[in-house]
Amino acid sequence: MAVKVIQGLQNGDEGKGRIVDDLCFKSDKPVVVRFQGGANAGHTIYDEKGNKSVVHLLPSGVLNPNAINVITRSTVIDPKQLVEEINQFNVQKGSLIISPYCPVVMPNHITEDKAKYQAKLGTTAKGIGPALRDFYARDGMNLNSWFDLYGHTEEATVLYGYIGEAEKFLQDHLSTMDVLLEGCQGHRLDVWGEEYPNVTSSCTTIGAVFYSTRLNHKQIDEVIGVAKIYETKVGSGPFEELDEDLSEKYRSVGKEYGATTGRPRKIGWLDLDLLKEAIQVNGVDTLIITKTDIPVQVGVLKIKTLEDFWEIKELWVNGIDPLLDLLKKIKEYTGVKNIGYTYGENRGCIAFL
């Protein structure tokens, strides 16, 4: 049994959801934990038949009948959205535990996000920033106080059935279940990061694990960092994009449209120095590079380093072998202990060096 953090190392949309999904199906007794962000996240998941769906607030384990799903206290809850997802996935009582200490998004937060921050910062307009501002000012609500005011509503009646001691459940099951801590957004969207104010309004580095789940750092067995073989970004802020033709190729082959907003994602080359820094800050043990099949189909790949670019000319010549060389170089450059990669959308298309 192990506790693993799945941490995004870029701008979100690295493919964390599919890594969680893979690990979840490999375990007999998985617990999947959402501990941060809110409905601004969008994780694409697949059922046994390969049907695709997107979850925004529910943990990515909802399609796995063996999984317990847990939402711990700093996940920002929009009650209406969460109830919609609970109904959509027909989530059974006992398979989802929600902490009563989660901050709540109210309809006025969403209205304000749309009016003031959507155009200015490229937010997802889910009300996360205004809700957290009020929460930190102690003018906001957590689910407990929300139930006091709105307990009579239909949404509250549904949600109440899933409220429980989420963080205690984790402590009590560390030796009997595999705990998968599902990060949201990514390292560079951290509110404490260098790209402020073009960031989300919460902590997106490993720090969030501890204050939200109440696990301590000694209880983490492995930090899995996830990075895509090229960069993408939705929302505002500086970002070095590829030329239009190449961006369009990557966007269409890689299906690079926001899972939450449907916006086309900007495309850039993987920045190995930023990746190296993210690995250090988050204490990554295992780096997983996702979507390695996309450049093979596009036919062009470069990797950005401090000095210049690595041009990877042979990736698509012999199939997988040149890719392995590239992954070895990335491992060496970043100093990460272990490296793996995904090479297709389907569950199981994942390998380690």
Burial class for 306, CB neighbours closer than 10 Å (0-12, 13-18, 19+)? exposed
Site for ligand IMP in 34-53 (CB under 6 A): 40-42
Show the binding pattern over residues 127-156: x = contacts ligand IMP (CB under 6 A), - = does not: -xx---------------------------
Q: Is 123 in the site for ligand IMP (CB under 6 A)?
A: yes
29 alpha carbon, distance to own chain's centre: 21
The least distance separating Mg ion from the CB of residue 201, rounded to whole angstroms, comes to 16
Give me the half-sphere count of Cα atoms (radius 13 Å) on the Cβ side of residue 19: 31
Q: How many CB atoms lie within 10 A of CB 152?
A: 8
Choose the binding region for Mg ion from 80-88, 115-123, 207-215, 254-262 (rule: CB under 5 A): 254-262
State which residue, 42 or 79, has the beta carbon closest to Mg ion: 42
Tokens for 103?
Answer: 């901050």
Task: Give the whole-angstrom CA distance, residue 220 versus residue 44.
Answer: 25
The least distance separating Mg ion from the CB of residue 235, rounded to whole angstroms, comes to 12
Helices 272-282, 321-334: axis angle to 10 degrees equals: 60
Site for Mg ion in 255-294 (CB under 5 A): 259
Q: Give the CA angle between residues 285, 289, 290 to the nearest 5°.
A: 135
Does the active-site annotation cover 109?
Answer: no
Task: Quickly list DSSP for 174-191.
Answer: TTTSEEEEE--S-GGG-T
Position closest to ligand IMP via CB = 235
Catalytic residue among 43, 56, 109, 187: 43
Show the binding pattern over residues 181-200: x = contacts ligand IMP (CB under 6 A), - = does not: ---xx---x----------x
Q: Give the three-state DSSP class for 52.
A: strand
The least distance separating ligand IMP from the CB of residue 311, rounded to whole angstroms, comes to 28
Catalytic residue among 13, 178, 271, 293: 13
Q: Which does 130 bind (CB under 5 to 8 A by kind): Mg ion, ligand IMP, none?
A: none
Q: Is 215 in the site for ligand IMP (CB under 6 A)?
A: no
Q: Which of 122, 164, 264, 322 binds ligand IMP (CB under 6 A)?
A: 122
**Cα dist. 101→49, 76, 108 in Å?**
36, 10, 20
DSSP one-letter code for 103: B
Tokens for 298?
Answer: 């596009």
The least distance separating ligand IMP from the CB of residue 161, rounded to whole angstroms, comes to 27
State which residue, 122 or 264, has the beta carbon closest to ligand IMP: 122
Task: Give the whole-angstrom CA distance, residue 106 versus residue 78.
Answer: 7
Which helix (DSSP H) or strand (DSSP E) does residue 45 occupy?
strand 43-46
Which helix (DSSP H) or strand (DSSP E) does residue 309 occupy?
strand 309-311
Q: Which does 234 bind (CB under 5 to 8 A by kind): ligand IMP, Mg ion, none?
A: ligand IMP
Q: Which of 8, 30, 38, 42 binds Mg ion (CB under 5 A)?
A: 42
Task: Quickly list DSSP for 276-316.
Answer: HHHHHHHT-SEEEEE-THHHHHH---EEE-SS-EEE--STT
Does the active-site annotation cover 43?
Answer: yes
Choose the binding region for ligand IMP from 125-133, 155-163, 212-220, 291-299 (rule: CB under 6 A): 125-133
Contact 258, 265 (CB under 8 A): yes
Q: Is 226 in the site for ligand IMP (CB under 6 A)?
A: no
Site for ligand IMP in 3-32 (CB under 6 A): 11-13
**Residues contributing to the site for ligand IMP (CB under 6 A):** 11-13, 40-42, 121-124, 126, 128-129, 184-185, 189, 200-201, 234-235
Q: List, by residue number, the catalytic residues.
A: 13, 43
